[in-house]
Amino acid sequence: VLPKIITIDGPAGAGKTTVARMLAQKLKYAILESGSIYRTFTWLLLSKKRELLPLRNEAKILEVLKEEIPKLDIKADSQGLKVSYQGTDLTQELREPEVEAHVSEVAALPSVRKLANEILQRIAENRPIVAEGRDMGSVVFPKTKAKFFLTADPRIRAERRYLEWQAKGLVASKEEVLSKIKERDHKDSSRTEAPLTVPEGAIVIDTTTLSPEEVVNRILEALKSSH
């Protein structure tokens, strides 16, 4: 039998979301997009207490989040994580460049991570999941036997993000996207709390020249041969 928790970690644009989605559909698992929790927290701060960013007062931030979290509805299914706030769906908002620009600083706060991890672990109690993010295999679900780490050349990752942004009608040059991706990678990898790293026991897949289908097949083969 397959493990109930499959983790996929890696930097932005490595293909985690696409691969997690395809894998979840094949296995009938739900997807836990942990980045969406950090994006939700960032959106909450931007829309309710803008003055708290750039971050200075961690205690105050925690207080705001604790007050706002009960107003959220968070559901995981095989399409992804659906988040709504007081009945309003946040899917679009969470992908906005402004949220993206601030999310790494919010995610660097230890107390914020603790809050996110509690939410993530609670969701995973109810159903089998593909958990996708930066520290799923290293911190949040360290005991699972199915861990994957996706990487790709930064230029390719920027190219993928650039195409996504273009499809949404957002204007940015490739250079801008590349520099934003590098900046976010740097912040995510250099923070002291749960930095982006290859989890112990994870299978590393370089997706630079692979299609999402090929990545999914490699993951399925690895899962088959070890379970």
- The whole-angstrom separation of Cα 220 and Cα 167 is 30
- The whole-angstrom separation of Cα 169 and Cα 190 is 32
From the list 63-71, 131-139, 154-162, 197-205, the region that binds ligand C5P by CB under 6 A is 131-139
When binding is defined by CB under 6 A, the residue of 45, 107, 112, 219 that contacts ligand C5P is 107
When binding is defined by CB under 6 A, the residue of 38, 85, 141, 148 that contacts ligand C5P is 38
Instruction: Examine residue 199 and say whether the peptide bond preceding it is cis (omega within 30 degrees of 0).
Output: no
Binding mask 7-26 for ligand C5P (x = CB under 6 A): -----x--------------
**Residue 142 marked in a binding site:** no
Q: How close are the terminal C-alpha atoms of the chain, in Å? A: 6
Rounded least distance, CB 48 to ligand C5P, Å: 19
Angle formed at CA 39 by CA 38 and CA 41, multiple of 5 degrees: 65
Sequence-ordered alpha helix ranges (H) in the chain: 16-27, 34-48, 58-68, 91-94, 97-107, 110-124, 154-167, 174-190, 212-226
**Residue 17 marked in a binding site:** yes
Return the number of the residue (38 or 224) whose C-beta is nearest ligand C5P: 38
When binding is defined by CB under 6 A, the residue of 7, 93, 102, 133 that contacts ligand C5P is 133
**Residue 42 marked in a binding site:** no
Rounded least distance, CB 106 to ligand C5P, Å: 8
Rounded least distance, CB 167 to ligand C5P, Å: 16
Phi, psi of 203 (to 5 degrees): -90, 125
Decide if residue 134 touches ligand C5P (CB under 6 A): yes
Q: Please count the residues of this chain forming the interface with ligand C5P, following the rule CB under 6 A.
A: 15
Decide if residue 35 touches ligand C5P (CB under 6 A): yes
Return the number of the residue (180 or 219) whose C-beta is nearest ligand C5P: 180
Rounded least distance, CB 148 to ligand C5P, Å: 14
83-120 core/surface letters (b: 16 or more CB in 10 A; e: else): bebeeeebeebbeeeebbebbbbbbbbeebbebbbebb
Q: Are 192 and 135 in contact (CB under 8 A)?
A: no
Chain centroid to CA 99: 13
When binding is defined by CB under 6 A, the residue of 34, 40, 78, 144 that contacts ligand C5P is 34
> Where on the chain is the footprint of ligand C5P (CB under 6 A)?
12, 34-36, 38-39, 103-104, 107, 133-136, 184, 188
